[in-house]
Amino acid sequence: MTIDDEVATMRRIPMLAKIEPKPLRMLAAVCRRVVFAPGQVVFEQGDEGDAAYVILSGSAAIIARSENGDSIIATTGPDTLVGELAVICDVARSATVRAETTLVTLRIERDHFMELLRQSPEASAAVMRHIGLRLIERTDELAAARRGDSRN
Amino acid sequence: MSAVPPTSGARFKALLARRVKLDRYRAVLRVGKARLRAYGDALMAEGLPRASIAMRRLLRTTRKGMRRLGLGAAGQSHAGPTLMAWIWQESRREQMPILAIIVCSLPFYYLLFDLPKHIINGPIQGSGFASTEATRPLGQLVPLFAPLTSLASIELDRVMALLVLSALFAALIIVNGAFKLVINTAKGRLGERMLQRLRSDLFARVLAMPPREARRLSGSETAAIIKDEVEPLGGFIGDAFVMPALLVAKALTAALFILLQSVWLGAVAIVIVVVQALIVPRMRRRLIVLGRERQATARALAGRVGEVVEGIAEVHTNNAKMLEQRDIQSRLERIFTIRYEIYQRKFAIKFINNLLAEVPTLIFFLLGGLLVLKGQVDVGQLVAVIVAYGELPDPIKQLIDWDYQRQDMMVRFDQVNQYLPPPTLAKRDLPHTILPVARVRQALPLKILDLNVEIEASGERLRDTSLEIRTGEQVCATGDAGSGANALALALIGDAALSSGTMLCAGKPYGPAGLLGGRLAYVGEDPYVQQGPIRDALLYGLSEEAGAASHVGRLGEILKLVGLEEDILAIALGGRITQAARADVARAAVAARHALARGPAYEDLARVVVRHNPNRYNDEATIGVNLSIAGDQYDSADARWLGRAEVDHELAHHDLNHRLESIGRVMARTAVDLYGGLAHDNVLRLTQRHVPPDEFERYRALIERYDDGRAEPLSDADRRALQSLALGYVESRHRLGLIDNALRERVVAVRQALYGTDRVPTDDADYFDGMTLEQNIIFGSVVHELAGSERQVREAVRKTLADLGSLELVLSLGLAFEAGPGGRRLTLAQRQKIGLARALLRDCELLVANRALSSLPVRSQDTIIRGVLAELRTRNAGAGGASFWVLANAASAPHFDRVLAFAGGQIRDDTRPRPAQDQGSDDAVKGHET
C-alpha cells in the first residue's frame, strides 16, 4: 500500500473528504503505518490524545470502561478515523480502542494534524463541520433518551 | 527638538542659542566634576588627605551649582568601594614589595644622570689632569668611590679613566634595565593575580545570589563581564599604584638632580614642568568636551534630516521649507564652529607641547652657558642637566595618560559592581528577609504558620497558609498554575520572598532552605542538566559528600525506580562503539546475539525482527543496508561510499545506478512538491523522511534543474546525491511503491559481487562497528510497522543482557552518554527523570517535587510516583522520608497520605486518602483545616 492508496482511503473518511489531495498527501507522507495484532490495544481510556489513527484495514472495538466493567460500545472498520477528538480538543481518551483482527492503521501525530489545519483552511472547516455534526448527533441521542425515559 | 511655532523665528533662534549655551555649561560642569572627583581620589591614594579634603569641598560646591542648574547626580551612585580603594585593600601586600623595589632603584637612576657629568668633566674635558699622560685616582674622578680606599686609590690616565667610567656607565644601564624588568614583571604578575581574584570573586557573587535574584542576570552578559569586561581592569590594577609611584619618583629624582647641579636651572626645569602639567590636561579636557559635542550635534543633525525626509509632505503643505533650511543651516554652522575649535585647540596643544619641549633646551643653553662662563656650573653638569631634563616631560605625559585610564577603569568597575553587586550590598537590598538561611540539622517536623508569599514573576500568591509536615508523611498538592501550590514549594526551598509568616524546622525558626542539597532535596519542572556524561548529572553535588560511593551503588535501583533505566538502555543500544575501543562491550554484544538466537524469546522475536540473510533482500532495511550488510563501513548511506571505484563499477555493471538515481529523484520530487511551499522550520517539512531537512534547498535546486529539460542537466555530484537519497529508502517507511523483485535481485547481486557470499556475516561473525549495539545483538531489522515491536525487541535484549550479567556494562555505556550543553541532547522527560533520580540519590529527609514529572505520560507519572513513595516509606530505618509533591496530574493523588487541594492561594481542602498510621485503609478520611 502506497501513500496514494492511503490518501484515497483518507478521502473516504467524512471528516477528511472535503480536503484537497495535496494537503492529505503532505500529511500521509509524514505518518507512520502501524499494524496491531488482534487483541492489541491502540490506545487506552484516560491516556493523552497524542495521535489519531486512520484504519486502513481490519476492525477494532471501541470500549468504554466504567465501574461496572468494560463494555464494547461500537465496532469500527476500514475508512474510519479513531481518536481524532482527543487530538483536536487536547483531552484524555474517552474510550479504549482494541484491535479485533489484524488492524492496519496510519498514525497521525497530533503536531502534524494541527499543522495540516494551519496549512489548509478547508481542512479546518471540515473538522469544524465534523465536530458540529457529532454534537448534533449527541444532542439528538440525548433528546431521544429523555423521550424514552418519560414514556416509561 | 521640541516644536516651536514658526511665527517667531527670531525668538526660536535666540531660544536655541540659549539652550545650546546652557547645554555647553552643563557639559563642562559635568566633566569638571568627574575630573575633580578623580583628582580627589588620586590624591587620597597618594596619601594627601588634606588636599583631598579641599578637593572634595570644591566638588561639593560644584555639585551645589549643578543642582541649581537642575542636573541631578543620577547614575553616579557607587555600588561598591571605589576602584582605587578596592585595589589597595585587595592588593596591599603585593603592592608593597614592588613599591619598595622602586625606592631601591632610585639611587641607581640618580647615578645614571650623575656619571655622565664625571665622564665629561674628567677624561673628556681633562679637568684635574695636568697633562695627557697625567693620572688621577679613581676616588677623585667619581666621588662615589671615595670611601672605598682600595679602589679609590687606583691611578688612571685619561684614556683608561674614559674606559673605566664608560664601563661603569654600561653597568649602570644594565642595573637600571634590570630594575625595570623586575618591576614590570612583578606588576604584570600582580595584575594577572588580581584579575584572577576579581573573576573568582565575581563568580562567587553569582553563586551567592539567591536563584530568584540571579534569574534576572543574562547568562551571556554575565559570562562576557567575567571574561572580557574585567580584562583591561587586570592590566590597570598592576599599574594603579606602581605606575604613578614610579613616574613621580623618577620625575622627582630628575628634578632633584637638576636642583643639586644648579638651583637656577632646577627652578627653570620645575617651572616648565609645572606649567606643562597644568596647561596640557586643561587643554585636552576642553578637547574631550568638544569631541563629545561634535558627536552629539552630528547625531542630532542626522536625526533632523531623517525627520524632514520622512515628513517632507508636511514641510511642503506647511510652507516650512525656509524654516527647515534655516534650522539645518544653524546646525551646520554650530558643527563648523565646534570642528574648527577642535582644530585650533589640537594644533595649539601641539604647538605648546613642542614649545615646552624645545624652549627649555634653549634656556639651558643660554642660562646654563652663562653659568658655565661664570664658573658656577661646569660643562659636565650642564650636559647632565640637559639629559636629565629630557627625562622629565615623559613621566608627566604618562601620568596624564594614566589618569585618563584610571577614569575609564573607574566607570568600568562601577558598571561591573552595579551588574553584580557585592554580596553585602545584595543582602541589604533584599526587601523581606524574615528567615535567616542557616545550617540546621533537621527539617522535620516542618511547621508553617500564616505564610504569605508572592512570586513576582507570575503574580502567584500564597495567603495565610499553615501546615505541618511530619516525619514519614507523603503530602501532595493539587491545583492550577496560580493556585499557590507552586509558591509554597518555592518558599520551602527559599526561592520565593516571604512577605510574612514563620517556618519552624524541628522547632527552630529557620526555613528548610539551609538544608538544601543534603537533608532537603528539590526537583523542579525543568531540571538543569550540566554538560557532561549523564552519570555526572545524576551524581551532581554528591561527590563532595562523604559516602558518594554508596550512592553510586544505589544508582541502578534508583534508575529503575524513576523509569530512567529504559532511556539509558535505549541510548546505549542505539549508539555505536568500535570493537577496538570497547572490546568488553563488543564481546558482550556477540554473546547476547548467540544467547538471543538460542533463547526462548527467539520465536516471538521472529515476528518483529527480519534477520539479515546472505541471499535475500531485507525489506525492513534500507537499500543502503541491503547493499552492504558485510561492508566494513556500515554507513553506506553516504555519498562517499558511492564514490568508491568498485562500488561505482558494480552498480553500473548491474544497471543499478540509474535505478537508484530515479528512486532518489522520486523521493526528492515528492519532498519538494509537498513541502517546498512551507517555511523551512515547519514541523511537516522537518519531519518528512525523503530528504535531509538541512539539504532541502539543494535538492529543490536539483529538481528544478532537471525539470528545465536541458540536455545534460545533472552533474555527477547531483547524480550521486540522488543515489544517496535512494540508499535510505525503505518501502514500509516511505511507501512510494518503488521496490520490485527485479530491484531486490539486483541489490543482492551487487552485494554479493562486492563482498562475496562468504563474507556476508552470519551469527558467528564478529562485532560490526558500523551497526548500533542493538543491531549487532538482534542482527536484523526491526519491523517498525508492527505496534510495540520496538518495545518487544528492547525487552528481549534487556532480558538477554540481564541473564548474561552484562546489563550493568551496557547501562554504564549509556550513563557515559554526553548530555550536551544544558542537557540539550536529552528530552525534557529524560531530564525530569534525571532530576528526580538525583534528588532520590540523596538521603533526604524531605523531598520537594514541584511538577517534577509533568512532561511524562500520565500512566508513567503514576507508576513512578507509586514506586518513589514506596521507596521513601522504607527510608530512615522504616520511619520514612517525607515528601511534598506539587502534582502535574491529580490522578496520582490517592497514593499519598495527605492531599492538599490549592485554589486562589489557599488550601481549600485537606484530605487523607491514606492515613499514615493506618495504611491498610483506603477510605478517604476527610478533615478540613482553615
For A35, which of B682, B736, B786 is closest by C-beta distance?
A: B786
For B735, which of A3, A46, A119 is closest by C-beta distance?
A: A3
Whether the pLDDT of residue B424 is over 60: the answer is no
The confidence band for B79, taking pLDDT boundaries of 50, 70 and 90, is: very low
Kindly state the average pLDDT of the residues B626-647. Answer: 66
Whether the pLDDT of residue B923 is over 70: the answer is no
Q: State which residue of chain B sits closest to A106, comparing Cα positions.
A: B785
Round to whole Å and give the CA distance between B415 and B419.
Answer: 6
Q: Which of residues 159-188 of B touch A (CB under 8 A)?
A: none
Round to whole Å and give the CA distance between B400 and B282.
Answer: 11
CB proximity B684 to A under 8 Å: yes
C-alpha cell at B265: 636651572
Kindly state the average pLDDT of the residues B835-851. Answer: 87
Whether the pLDDT of residue B410 is over 50: the answer is yes
> What integer pLDDT is reported at residue B833 of this predicted model?
94
Tell me if residue B929 falls in helix, strand or coil: coil
B689 to A32: CB separation less than 8 angstroms, yes or no:
no
For B684, which of A26, A33, A44 is closest by C-beta distance?
A: A26
Query: In B69-210, which ranges are continuous DSSP H helix?
Result: 83-119, 138-141, 149-152, 158-208
Query: In B311-422, which ranges are continuous DSSP H helix?
Result: 312-317, 321-363, 369-374, 379-391, 393-419
Q: Measured between alpha carbons, how far apart are the two ends of chain B, in Å?
A: 62
Q: State which residue of chain A sits closest to B857, comparing Cα positions.
A: A48
The confidence band for A54, taking pLDDT boundaries of 50, 70 and 90, is: very high
For A29, which of B674, B784, B787 is closest by C-beta distance?
A: B674
Note whether A84 and A106 are within 8 A (CB).
no
Contact list, A29 vs chain B (CB under 8 Å): 670, 674, 688-690
Note whether B131 and B159 are within 8 A (CB).
no
Whether the pLDDT of residue B214 is over 50: the answer is yes
Q: State which residue of chain B sits closest to A50, comparing Cα positions.
A: B857
Radius of gyration of chain A (CA): 16
CB proximity A10 to B under 8 Å: no
Kindly state the average pLDDT of the residues B85-94. Answer: 86
> What integer pLDDT is reported at residue B447 of this predicted model?
86
> What integer pLDDT is reported at residue B71 of this predicted model?
38
Note whether B576 and B770 are within 8 A (CB).
yes
Shortest Cα distance from A139 to chain B (angstroms)?
A: 30
Question: Which of A6, A7, A24, A33 is best to mutate for the B interface (most B CBs within 10 A)?
Answer: A33
Contact list, B785 vs chain A (CB under 8 Å): 32-35
The confidence band for B387, taking pLDDT boundaries of 50, 70 and 90, is: confident
Shortest Cα distance from B782 to chain A (angstroms)?
A: 13
CB proximity B784 to A under 8 Å: yes
Please report which helix (H) or strand (E) contains residue A63, including its range. Answer: strand A60-66
Residue bearing the bigger pLDDT, B709 or B167: B167
For A3, which of B675, B678, B736 is closest by C-beta distance?
A: B736
> What integer pLDDT is reported at residue B737 of this predicted model?
92
Least trusted range by pLDDT, from B450-464, B552-566, B752-766:
B752-766
CB proximity B82 to A under 8 Å: no
| pLDDT above 90 as % of chain B | 19
Contact list, B619 vs chain A (CB under 8 Å): none
For A48, which of B675, B735, B858 is closest by C-beta distance?
A: B858
Residue bearing the bigger pLDDT, A79 or B495: A79
Question: Which of B670, B683, B686, B734 is best to mutate for the A interface (most A CBs within 10 A)?
Answer: B683
For A30, which of B687, B785, B787 is closest by C-beta distance?
A: B687
CB proximity B92 to A under 8 Å: no
Contact list, B786 vs chain A (CB under 8 Å): 34-35, 37
Round to whole Å and give the CA distance between B250 and B245.
Answer: 8
CB proximity B681 to A under 8 Å: no
CB proximity B858 to A under 8 Å: yes
**Of B909, B916, B912, B907, nearest to B924 (Cα)?**
B912
Note whether B668 and B702 are within 8 A (CB).
yes
B689 to A29: CB separation less than 8 angstroms, yes or no:
yes
Round to whole Å and give the CA distance between B504 and B864.
Answer: 30
For A2, which of B688, B735, B858 is closest by C-beta distance?
A: B735
CB proximity A111 to B under 8 Å: yes
Cα B446 off chain centre by: 39
Tell me if residue B480 falls in helix, strand or coil: coil
Q: State which residue of chain A sits closest to B858, comparing Cα positions.
A: A47
Mean pLDDT (chain B) is 80
Whether the pLDDT of residue B3 is over 50: the answer is no
Least trusted range by pLDDT, from A40-44, B173-177, B391-395:
B391-395
C-alpha cell at A50: 497524542
A112 to B683: CB separation less than 8 angstroms, yes or no:
yes
Per-residue 3-state assignment (H helix, E strand, C coil) for B870-883: HHHHCCCCCCCCEE
CB proximity B687 to A under 8 Å: yes
For A35, which of B683, B687, B787 is closest by C-beta distance?
A: B787
> What integer pLDDT is reported at residue B634 of this predicted model?
46
Round to whole Å and give the CA distance between B578 and B575.
Answer: 10
B684 to A30: CB separation less than 8 angstroms, yes or no:
yes
Amino acid at B214: A
State the greatest distance between any 2 C-alpha atoms of chain A, in Å, as a whole number: 53
Cell 523665528 maps to which residue? B9
The confidence band for A57, taking pLDDT boundaries of 50, 70 and 90, is: very high
CB proximity A107 to B under 8 Å: no
Shortest Cα distance from B857 to chain A (angstroms)?
A: 7
Whether the pLDDT of residue B547 is over 60: the answer is no
Kindly state the average pLDDT of the residues B200-226. Answer: 81
Least trusted range by pLDDT, from B21-35, B117-131, B168-182, B353-367:
B21-35
Least trusted range by pLDDT, from B275-289, B508-522, B796-810, B909-923:
B909-923
CB proximity A29 to B under 8 Å: yes
For B260, B514, B900, the CA distances from B848, given in Å and listed in that order, are 80, 14, 14
Round to whole Å and give the CA distance between B188 and B226.
Answer: 19
State pLDDT tens for residues A5-15.
999 999 999 88
The confidence band for B919, taking pLDDT boundaries of 50, 70 and 90, is: very low
- Predicted structure pTM score: 0.67
Contact list, A4 vs chain B (CB under 8 Å): 737
Residue bearing the bigger pLDDT, A100 or B286: A100
> What integer pLDDT is reported at residue B914 of this predicted model?
59
Whether the pLDDT of residue B557 is over 70: the answer is yes
CB proximity B732 to A under 8 Å: yes
B858 to A47: CB separation less than 8 angstroms, yes or no:
yes
Round to whole Å and give the CA distance between B187 and B235.
Answer: 9
A111 to B678: CB separation less than 8 angstroms, yes or no:
no
CB proximity A47 to B under 8 Å: yes
**Of B861, B900, B912, nearest to B478 (Cα)?**
B900
Whether the pLDDT of residue B335 is over 80: the answer is yes
> What integer pLDDT is reported at residue B518 of this predicted model?
66
B787 to A40: CB separation less than 8 angstroms, yes or no:
yes
Helix, strand, coil % over all residues of chain A, rounded to 5: 45, 30, 25
Neighbours of B816 (CB within 10 A): 16
Contact list, A44 vs chain B (CB under 8 Å): 859
> What integer pLDDT is reported at residue B887 of this predicted model?
92
Note whether B695 and A36 are within 8 A (CB).
no
State pLDDT tens for residues B741-761.
999 999 989 888 887 765 555
> What integer pLDDT is reported at residue B760 of this predicted model?
52
Cβ-based contacts under 8 A for chains A and B: 61
Q: State which residue of chain A sits closest to B736, comparing Cα positions.
A: A2
Round to whole Å and give the CA distance between B884 and B556.
Answer: 24
> What integer pLDDT is reported at residue B930 of this predicted model?
35
Least trusted range by pLDDT, from B180-194, B399-413, B467-481:
B399-413
Q: How many residues does the structure list for chain A?
A: 152
State pLDDT tens for residues B581-592.
888 999 999 899
State pLDDT tens for residues B269-317.
888 778 877 777 777 778 778 887 888 888 888 888 888 888 888 888 8
The confidence band for B44, taking pLDDT boundaries of 50, 70 and 90, is: low
Please report which helix (H) or strand (E) contains residue B622, including its range. Answer: none
Whether the pLDDT of residue B242 is over 80: the answer is yes
ipTM of the complex: 0.90
Tell me if residue A57 falls in helix, strand or coil: strand
Whether the pLDDT of residue A147 is over 70: the answer is yes
| pLDDT above 70 as % of chain B | 82
